[in-house]
Amino acid sequence: MKLHELRDNDGATKKRTRVGRGPGSGKGKTGGRGIKGQKSRSGVAIKGYEGGQMPLYQRLPKRGFTKPNAKKFAVVNLGLIQKFVDAKKLDAKGTITEDVLVESGLVRRKLDGVRVLAKGDVTAKLNIEVTGASKSAIEAVEKAGGSLKVTTAQAAE
């Protein structure tokens, strides 16, 4: 086989229908849009419009509530902290604060604080001070002989 012999399988490509190109094309004059009416005109987008019937999004019940002042935490897993300690990017002897986590590159930005979750294993004796932590994360750090101090009233949830 040579380069000039390459081609698509039969039926793999289909030519685009060029509408409004004369009566012989079968899609001339109105171009497959029918006669008159809103949809025959250009610049019309009728999303969610059901022709006078109550639209689906209005018929369905609205539930729930999004807290406008909800706190957004940067989430860190214990396994990642341990990985950074092993890679010597974090000092296990010193106190690991939120600023230290940002400097090491483990957390991009603090947002409303850093929250530690218990995914992964901890073997090093760590001394961590963060805004939030899960109960299981606190237990895991203390089990390894370290301490996890939550700095604000927003403790383990």
What tens digit of pLDDT does each residue of 82-136 get? 888 888 888 878 888 888 888 888 888 888 888 999 888 888 888 888 888 889 9
Among 135, 21, 126, CA closest to 79: 126
Cβ count within 10 A of residue 82: 19
In percent, the amount of the chain with pLDDT more than 70 equals: 97
* Rounded Cα gap, residues 33 and 17, in angstroms: 14
The pLDDT score that the predictor gives to residue 156 is 46
The pLDDT score that the predictor gives to residue 153 is 52
CATH dotted code for 74-150: 3.100.10.10
Among 38, 32, 7, CA closest to 18: 32
Q: What is the pLDDT of residues 45-58, one digit of tens each?
A: 788 888 889 999 99
* Rounded Cα gap, residues 106 and 150, in angstroms: 19
Starting at the edge strand found earlier in the chain, the sheet holding 127-130 runs: 95-96, 127-130, 147-150
Q: Provide the 8-state DSSP code for 55.
A: P
Domain ranges of the chain: 18-60, 74-150
Mean pLDDT of the chain: 87
